[in-house]
Amino acid sequence: MKRFLFTLASAFALFLASSCASAAVVEHTFNIGNLTVSRLCNEHVITAVNGSLPGPTINVEEGDTLVVHAINDSPYNITLHWHGIFQLLSAWADGPESVTQCPIRPGGRYTYRYNITGQEGTLWWHSHSSFLRSTVYGALIIRPRKGNTYPFPSFYQDVPLLIGEWWNANVVDVENDAEETGLGPVESDAYTINGLPGDSYNCSQNQTYQVQVKHGETYLLRIINAALNEQHFFMIANHTFTVVAIDASYTQPYNTDVIVLAPGQTVDALITANQTLASYYMVFTPYHSNPNVGINANITRGLLVYHNATSASPVMPNLPLQTDTPTAHKFYTNVTGLGYGPHWVPVPRHVDEHMFVTFGIGLDHCNETGPNACNGLNFRLSANMNNESFVLPKGLSMMEAMYGNVSGVYTRDFPSNPTFEFNYTDPALEINGTEIAFAPKSTKVKTLRFNSTVQVVLQNTAILARENHPIHLHSFNFYVLAQGFGNYDANVDESKFNLDNPQIRNTIAVPVGGWAVIRFQANNPGMWLMHCHLETHLPWGLAMAFEVENGPEPWKLPPPPADLPQC
């Protein structure tokens, strides 16, 4: 009880101090509508914010209040999610469609308002409605409040780099076609850096993003994987990085010549322009964790150009193989947190709630009739967590149901452990796993006591396909205590836990055919989604939600805003 009261008092004191010490209100208006752009030899009409791709970069300081007026002039329903923001006592602003709000209808509007407390670094915002995330996204940069400094060497300039994914098609049609066939969506046609595909694509010689640098200066790259479906290696020819933050959490400085990011993840890395005056390619190439699963295997590249450089051909980096899991795993596991740095909170040692969650791709029965139903097959692709395939509700958001104690929208019986045990990572399941690939459709949540400490073992399965899956938890950062390959074994793997300075994330890339153990404190009431951040997987059901109960005053879910969209 003493631990609970101390933690609660500390959290509220931090929240109040941040809110009161900074009076700055940063206000934006996001006009969401059609934009005609030229890419890959064709003109396309896309959905974008304020007529730009990517959308506006938001710059705030820790402690500020951010207000974004979203005006939907597009032909589609839409919501906006502020990826990685804690949303302390502002749960109605989180944004996932049907979870914390109903969508903003065409012609409608909604104002997102929240305080940014205890966070510094690089995050991002994006649509949380269908495939619109492919063009509705942008950077969200949180700088230290005035008078505070970064816990790493000073830099000359910071540069956001957003890796995106591009289709030569209407992305809403791409998603609808996938749902109709029951199969995966068609592969994208290109990747982009800050909206530009780069000179390796047709008609794109003049659509290559460039960073101009001065010799001897140090730059902070704010790298964001805003792609829908693929993880990426990132390299700059002849240059090395010093990673200083991931997912807006500071790290011990980590030197590397290659970075890897899953969709949803961010990396802050310093580079020093200390090479010969020339041009150097900076390249994103997909990390393909399962060669048997089709992907867009193209690269995208931009240019790092030195001031006064000659016009010689740019230098190309020696890229890793796209299937180089050891290199990806080395990066993902070697980064550690900056213990006792700014906003550091020690790892809670007592765990109140233990969960073991299996997840992966599965199947659902195809009940449609006719020769074109599900491409003539008797199944469609599905996905599940603990053998429950998540379905978003209709008619009322889950959090409105929670706040109003409305029954029939969701149930509180999401299992804390798999409903049956098997050899989760047996490679034979990729071929012979159809018997256990089917899972019931449901809208189930796990209810957590306010301020409880939760530990989750995330266990990948090999059913149909072993892949590295990025799992994102809304509203909370979590400690990554350990990760590895094969089936998690507590008797062996608990000894590997880093309880001193683990990395802190909001999105974890769970190793292909492996597991990860995360721990977080449920100190914010509301309805919070945990899901795979591959865009194909949320509609298929690779998700669940945590219902965090109210705490004592003032830690109660506030009433919904007056302009909250209605279904």
CA nearest neighbour of 425 among 482, 470, 358: 358
Q: What's the whole-model pTM score?
A: 0.95
pLDDT given at position 2: 41
- What's the Cα-to-Cα distance from 188 to each of 149, 171, 433, rounded to whole Å? 41, 10, 28
- 8-state DSSP, 419: S
Judge whether 506 and 480 are in contact, CB under 8 Å.
Answer: no
d(CA 344, CA 347): 9
Q: Which residue has the tokens 């072993």?
A: 466
d(CA 115, CA 67): 9
β-pair partners for 78: 104
**If residue 49 lies in a helix (H) or strand (E), which one and from where to where?**
strand 42-49
**If residue 401 lies in a helix (H) or strand (E), which one and from where to where?**
helix 398-404
d(CA 337, CA 501): 5
pLDDT given at position 51: 97
d(CA 195, CA 432): 41
Per-state percent for the chain, helix, strand, coil, to nearest 5: 15, 40, 45
CA nearest neighbour of 468 among 502, 500, 514, 503: 514
CA nearest neighbour of 112 among 133, 130, 134, 127: 127
Residue-range domains of the chain with CATH: 25-143 (2.60.40.420), 157-337 (2.60.40.420), 353-548 (2.60.40.420)
pLDDT tens per residue across all 567 residues of the chain:
444 444 454 555 555 554 455 469 999 999 999 999 999 999 999 999 999 999 999 999 999 999 999 999 999 999 999 999 999 999 999 999 999 999 999 999 999 999 999 999 999 999 998 899 999 999 999 999 999 999 999 999 999 999 999 999 999 999 988 888 888 889 999 999 999 999 999 999 999 999 999 999 999 999 999 999 999 999 999 999 999 999 999 999 999 999 999 999 999 999 999 999 999 999 999 999 998 888 999 999 999 999 999 878 999 999 999 999 999 999 999 999 999 999 999 999 999 999 999 999 888 888 776 666 777 777 888 899 999 999 999 999 999 999 999 999 999 999 999 998 999 999 998 888 788 889 999 999 999 999 999 999 999 999 988 999 999 999 999 999 999 999 999 999 999 999 999 999 999 999 999 999 999 999 999 999 999 988 666 667 899 999 999 999 999 999 999 999 998
Helix (H, G, I), strand (E, B) or coil at 501: coil
Judge whether 64 and 236 are in contact, CB under 8 Å.
Answer: no
